[in-house]
C-alpha cells in the first residue's frame, strides 16, 4: 500500500481531508493507519483509531471514498471508552483461554471501566480474578494484531452456533437485517463486535485491574439465565489508574453507613432489617429536615394531613395496589391471635389488612370527604407518611433502601389545565430545596409506561405527554427511561449520586389519571358537571431516610451548622473552669433558633483527658465549633473558638459567638473562613 500522495481525480484514488482542512490523496483502500504513517511516525504510533466522516473507524480498515478523517489518540476524550472496550475483549480472550467452554456474551465499556458477561456452569470465584488479570497482561504483551471481517448473517449465526456460542448467535439474530455483522479477530481469537478496536492488543496498555464479580441476568431480565459478570477498571496509564483507586478509597470513607456508626446517627439490626433505629444525633437530622420541608411546603401553599398506617385489604383492592403491588406489601391478619399452644396463631380465613406502602389512596379519602369545586383546585395535600414496602432482601442498603420509610409526600389534586403550572411550581420548589442542601448535579428522567400498568394506554400516553410538556416548559433537560414508570402513572425522577457514584432516585413527580377514577375523586366543573380530578404524586426529598443518607455522604458527616447534631462542644481546659464551662453551655443551650422551633445544640466534654485529646475527639465527630475555655476565658467572659477545619478564631466574647452561630443556624448558611472551613 502506497501512502504517498498521488494525483486527484483518478477513480483509483481517494481524497482524505484532515481536521485542519489539509487534503491528501491516497490510493483507494487506504487505511487511517496509513494516513497517520504518511503524516509522521509519531502520530502513527499514537493513533488508536480513526474517525471517518464522523464514524469511528479502525486504523486498519480501508477507506473507499473521499472522506474527512480525524485520528484519535490517547489524549482525546474518546480514548478512555475505547481502551475499556478493548480491555473487555482482552478479558473475554483471557477467560476463554483459561476456562475453555465458557461462552461469551456482551462486554461494554462503562463509567470508569468495563465488564464482560460470561456463561459458564461453574461460577468464578475471587481467586480467579488475579489469574485472569495475569492472563490479560500476557495477551497485551503478545501484541496480537486485530482484523475485521464482515460476514453474512446466516454464516455468522451458523458459525457461532457451531462453536457452541449460543448467546452470540442469539445476538446476531437480533441485529437488524440491514446492518453489517462484523467479526473482530485478535490473533486467532474472534468475537462478534460492532468495533472499533485498536490495531493490536498491546495498545490498551497495562493500566487496568479486575475489580469485582457479580451475577447478571442475560439481557437484564430476571426471567433469563444468570450469567457471570466480571468488572474491571481501565485507564490511560498507571498514574490515572492509581488516582482512580485512590478516589474510590476516599469515597468509601464517606459511606453513610460508616459515618452513621462513627457519629452515632443510627443503626440497623437483623430483627428489624430495613428499618432504621434513629439515635439522638441522627434524629436531629431527621427532625431538622422535616421541619425545614414543612416550612417550605407551607410557604408553597400545601396543607398537611396524617392518614392511617393499617387499612383493610378491600381498600387496597379498590385502589389497585392489591392487584399490582401486593408482592411489595406487608399483609396483616385482622384477627386476635390465638394464644393456645397447639393452635394456629391465626385462622386460615382471617380477613386481611395491609400496612400502607403509599399514601395516595388515603389522601383521596380526605379529598372525597367534601364536594370539591373547580375553584378549590389545586389542593396540595402533604403528609410525612410512614410507608412500609416489602423490598427484596438483596435490595436493602443502609438508609438508601429500607423497608420502612418516611416520604415527604404530597398529592396535588388539580384540573387538567393546571398540570403545566403545577409541574413548574413543583420543579421550582425541588430545585430550591436541593440548592439549599448543596446539591447541584441533578439528573432528571421521565419514566414511561411499564409492562405491569393500570388504566388504559390512551390515559398513559396523555399523562406522559403532559408530564414531558410540563417539564420542558421549565427548561430542564431530561432523559427518557422507557418502561420504568410506576404501575399507576408515569413519573419524573430526580436523581442524585452517592459518594461512590451510584445514582439514586430522590424526588419524583407522577401524573396520575387512573387513581382518581378508581376511587372516584371528582370535582364540580364550571359547567356544573362532575369531572375527575387529576392527581400528581410528588416528593421533593423522596424519603427522609434516603435523603439523609445522601446528605451524610455529600457532607462526609461534616454537616452545616444548622443540621449538625452537635453544633458546638465546650472544652474546659481543666476542672478549675468547670463552673464557667457549664455556664457557657447552659447559656448557649438557651439560645432559640428561629425557623426550627429549637435551640442551639451544645454539649460539653468533662472527661479527664487533656485538651488536645478533647479537641481531637470533637474533630473526629465533625462538630462545627469547639469552644475552648480556660482560666483566661473564664476571667474575661470569653470562649476560644476553634473550627473543625482546624482554624483558630481566637477568643471572643460569648455574645459575639452566639451572634455568629445563631446567624449560621438561622440562615442555613455557614460562614466561610477561608480554606478548609
Q: 3-state DSSP helix/strand/coil percent for the chain, to nearest 5?
A: 35, 30, 35
Catalytic residue among 70, 229, 360, 387: 360
Is residue 284 classed as helix, strand or coil in its secondary structure?
helix
Please identify, using beta-carbon distances, which residue of 318 and 619 lies nearer to RNA. 619
Identify whether 491 is a catalytic site residue: yes
Burial of 19 (0-12, 13-18, 19+ CB in 10 A): exposed
CB of 557 to RNA, least distance (A): 12
Please identify, using beta-carbon distances, which residue of 197 and 321 lies nearer to RNA. 321
Backbone angles phi, psi at 458, to 5 degrees: -60, -45
CB atoms within 10 A of CB 21: 7
- Inter-residue contact 276 to 266 (CB < 8 Å): yes
Sign of torsion over alpha carbons 656, 657, 663, 664: positive
Distances in whole angstroms, Cα of residue 176 to Cα of each of 173, 179, 180? 8, 6, 9
CB of 267 to RNA, least distance (A): 8
- Inter-residue contact 353 to 322 (CB < 8 Å): no
Catalytic residue among 491, 546, 614, 642: 491
Catalytic residue among 58, 408, 409, 605: 409
Cα(554)–Cα(498) distance, integer angstroms: 7
Identify whether 411 is a catalytic site residue: yes
Catalytic residue among 229, 257, 459, 537: 537
Instruction: Write the Ramachandran bin of 650: left for phi over 0, alpha for psi from -120 to 50, otherwise beta.
Output: left
CB of 39 to RNA, least distance (A): 42
Please identify, using beta-carbon distances, which residue of 85 and 401 lies nearer to RNA. 401
Identify whether 537 is a catalytic site residue: yes
Please identify, using beta-carbon distances, which residue of 12 and 395 lies nearer to RNA. 395
State the greatest distance between any 2 C-alpha atoms of the chain, in Å, as a whole number: 102
Please identify, using beta-carbon distances, which residue of 157 and 604 lies nearer to RNA. 604
CB of 626 to RNA, least distance (A): 6
- Inter-residue contact 245 to 235 (CB < 8 Å): no
Catalytic residue among 85, 89, 209, 389: 389
Please identify, using beta-carbon distances, which residue of 421 and 503 lies nearer to RNA. 503
Catalytic residue among 209, 411, 538, 569: 411
Please identify, using beta-carbon distances, which residue of 404 and 522 lies nearer to RNA. 404
CB of 175 to RNA, least distance (A): 21
Q: Which residues contact 643 (CB under 8 A, 6 or more apart)?
A: 624, 625, 626, 649, 673, 677
Backbone angles phi, psi at 227, to 5 degrees: -100, 175
Cα(489)–Cα(473) distance, integer angstroms: 20
Beta bridge partners of 479: 445
CB of 562 to RNA, least distance (A): 22
DSSP letter (8 states) at residue 634: H
User: Among 204, 211, 203, which Cα is nearest to 233's?
Assistant: 211
Cα(330)–Cα(254) distance, integer angstroms: 33
User: What do you get for the CA distance between the two ends of the chain, in Å?
Assistant: 64
Cα(78)–Cα(58) distance, integer angstroms: 14
Catalytic residue among 96, 103, 288, 407: 407
- Decide the pairing of beta strands 568-572 and 625-629: parallel
Q: Quick one: CA torsion of 153, 159, 165, 168, rounded to 10 degrees?
A: -10
Q: What is the C-alpha radius of gyration for the chain, rounded to an integer number of angstroms?
A: 32
Please identify, using beta-carbon distances, which residue of 470 and 630 lies nearer to RNA. 630
Identify whether 407 is a catalytic site residue: yes
- Inter-residue contact 491 to 508 (CB < 8 Å): yes
Please identify, using beta-carbon distances, which residue of 548 and 563 lies nearer to RNA. 548
Helix (H) / strand (E) element for 316: namely helix 313-319
User: From edge to edge, which strands make up the β-sheet containing 638-643?
Assistant: 602-604, 568-572, 625-629, 638-643, 648-653
Identify whether 554 is a catalytic site residue: no
CB of 165 to RNA, least distance (A): 21
Identify whether 530 is a catalytic site residue: no
* DSSP H stretches of helix in 205-310: 238-253, 256-262, 280-299
CB of 366 to RNA, least distance (A): 21
- Decide the pairing of beta strands 277-278 and 266-267: antiparallel
CB of 399 to RNA, least distance (A): 8
CA 415 vs. chain centroid, Å, equals 33
Sign of torsion over alpha carbons 381, 387, 391, 394: positive
CB of 637 to RNA, least distance (A): 13
Please identify, using beta-carbon distances, which residue of 299 and 632 lies nearer to RNA. 632
Cα(623)–Cα(561) distance, integer angstroms: 9
CB of 211 to RNA, least distance (A): 8
CB of 544 to RNA, least distance (A): 9
Please identify, using beta-carbon distances, which residue of 38 and 500 lies nearer to RNA. 500
Q: What is the DSSP string of 346-407?
A: S-TT--EEEE-S-SHHHHHHHHTTSPEEGGG--EEEEEEEEEE----GGG-BTTTB-SEEEE
User: Among 540, 570, 550, which Cα is nearest to 638's?
Assistant: 570
Please identify, using beta-carbon distances, which residue of 301 and 646 lies nearer to RNA. 646
Tell me the catalytic residues: 360, 389, 407, 409, 411, 491, 537
Amino acid at each position: 500500500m502506497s501512502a504517498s500522495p498521488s494525483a486527484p481525480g483518478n477513480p483509483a484514488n481517494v481524497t482524505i481531508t484532515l481536521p485542519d482542512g489539509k487534503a491528501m490523496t491516497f490510493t483507494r483502500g487506504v487505511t487511517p493507519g496509513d494516513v497517520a504513517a504518511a503524516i509522521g511516525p509519531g502520530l502513527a504510533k499514537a493513533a488508536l483509531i480513526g474517525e471517518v466522516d464522523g464514524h469511528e473507524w479502525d486504523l486498519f480498515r480501508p477507506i473507499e471514498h473521499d472522506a474527512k478523517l480525524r485520528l484519535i489518540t490517547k489524549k482525546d476524550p474518546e480514548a478512555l471508552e475505547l481502551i475499556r472496550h478493548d480491555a473487555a475483549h482482552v478479558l473475554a480472550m483471557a477467560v476463554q483461554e483459561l476456562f475453555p467452554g465458557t461462552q461469551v456474551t456482551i462486554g461494554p465499556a462503562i463509567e470508569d471501566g468495563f465488564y464482560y458477561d460470561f456463561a459458564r456452569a461453574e461460577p468464578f470465584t475471587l481467586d480467579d480474578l488475579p489469574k485472569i488479570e495475569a492472563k490479560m497482561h500476557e495477551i497485551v504483551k503478545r501484541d496480537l494484531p486485530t482484523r475485521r471481517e464482515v460476514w453474512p448473517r446466516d454464516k455468522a449465526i451458523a458459525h457461532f452456533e457451531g462453536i457452541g456460542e449460543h448467546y452470540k448467535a442469539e445476538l446476531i439474530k437480533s441485529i437488524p437485517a440491514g446492518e453489517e455483522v462484523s467479526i473482530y479477530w485478535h490473533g486467532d481469537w474472534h468475537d462478534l463486535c460492532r468495533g472499533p478496536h485498536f490495531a493490536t492488543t498491546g495498545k490498551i496498555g497495562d493500566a487496568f485491574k479486575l475489580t469485582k464479580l457479580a451475577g447478571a441476568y442475560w439481557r437484564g431480565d430476571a426471567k433469563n439465565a444468570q450469567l457471570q459478570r466480571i468488572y474491571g477498571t481501565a485507564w490511560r496509564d498507571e498514574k490515572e489508574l492509581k488516582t482512580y483507586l485512590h478516589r474510590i478509597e476516599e469515597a468509601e470513607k464517606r459511606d453513610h453507613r460508616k459515618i452513621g456508626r462513627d457519629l452515632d446517627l443510627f443503626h440497623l439490626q437483623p430483627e428489624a432489617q430495613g428499618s432504621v433505629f434513629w439515635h439522638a444525633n441522627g434524629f436531629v437530622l431527621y427532625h431538622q429536615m422535616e421541619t425545614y420541608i414543612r416550612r417550605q411546603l407551607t410557604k408553597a401553599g400545601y396543607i398537611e394531613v396524617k392518614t392511617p398506617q393499617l387499612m383493610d385489604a378491600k381498600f387496597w383492592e379498590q385502589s389497585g395496589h392489591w392487584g399490582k403491588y401486593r408482592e411489595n406489601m406487608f399483609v396483616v391478619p385482622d384477627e386476635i391471635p390465638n394464644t393456645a399452644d397447639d393452635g394456629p396463631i391465626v385462622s386460615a380465613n382471617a380477613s386481611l389488612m395491609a400496612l400502607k406502602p403509599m399514601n395516595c389512596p388515603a389522601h383521596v379519602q380526605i379529598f372525597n370527604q367534601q364536594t370539591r369545586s373547580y375553584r378549590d383546585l389545586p389542593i396540595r395535600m402533604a403528609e410525612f407518611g410512614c410507608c412500609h414496602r416489602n423490598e427484596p432482601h438483596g435490595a436493602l442498603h443502609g438508609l438508601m433502601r429500607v423497608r420502612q420509610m418516611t416520604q415527604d409526600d404530597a398529592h396535588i389534586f388539580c384540573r387538567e389545565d393546571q398540570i403545566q403550572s403545577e409541574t413548574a411550581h413543583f420543579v421550582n420548589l425541588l430545585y430550591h430545596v436541593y440548592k439549599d442542601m448543596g446539591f447541584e448535579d441533578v439528573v432528571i428522567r421521565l419514566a414511561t409506561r411499564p409492562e405491569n400498568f393500570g388504566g388504559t394506554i390512551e390515559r398513559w400516553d396523555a399523562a406522559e405527554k403532559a408530564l414531558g410538556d410540563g417539564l420542558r416548559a421549565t427548561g430542564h433537560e431530561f432523559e427518557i427511561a422507557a418502561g420504568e414508570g410506576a404501575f399507576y402513572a408515569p413519573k419524573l425522577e430526580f436523581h442524585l449520586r452517592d459518594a461512590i457514584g451510584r445514582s439514586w432516585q430522590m424526588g419524583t413527580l407522577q401524573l396520575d389519571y387512573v387513581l382518581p377514577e378508581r376511587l372516584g375523586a371528582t370535582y364540580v366543573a364550571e359547567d356544573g358537571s362532575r369531572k375527575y380530578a387529576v392527581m400528581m404524586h410528588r416528593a421533593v426529598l423522596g424519603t427522609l431516610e434516603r435523603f439523609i443518607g445522601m446528605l451524610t455522604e455529600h457532607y462526609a458527616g461534616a454537616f452545616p451548622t444548622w443540621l449538625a447534631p452537635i453544633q458546638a462542644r465546650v472544652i474546659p481546659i481543666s476542672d478549675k473552669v468547670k463552673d464557667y464551662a457549664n455556664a457557657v453551655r447552659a447559656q448557649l443551650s438557651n439560645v432559640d433558633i428561629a425557623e426550627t422551633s429549637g435551640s442551639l445544640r451544645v454539649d460539653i466534654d468533662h472527661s479527664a483527658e487533656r485538651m488536645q485529646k478533647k479537641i481531637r475527639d470533637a474533630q473526629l465527630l465533625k462538630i462545627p465549633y469547639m469552644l475552648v475555655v480556660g482560666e483566661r476565658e473564664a476571667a474575661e467572659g470569653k470562649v476560644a473558638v476553634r473550627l473543625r477545619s482546624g482554624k483558630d478564631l481566637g477568643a471572643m466574647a460569648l455574645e459575639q459567638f452566639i451572634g455568629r452561630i445563631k446567624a449560621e443556624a438561622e440562615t442555613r448558611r455557614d460562614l466561610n473562613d477561608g480554606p478548609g472551613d
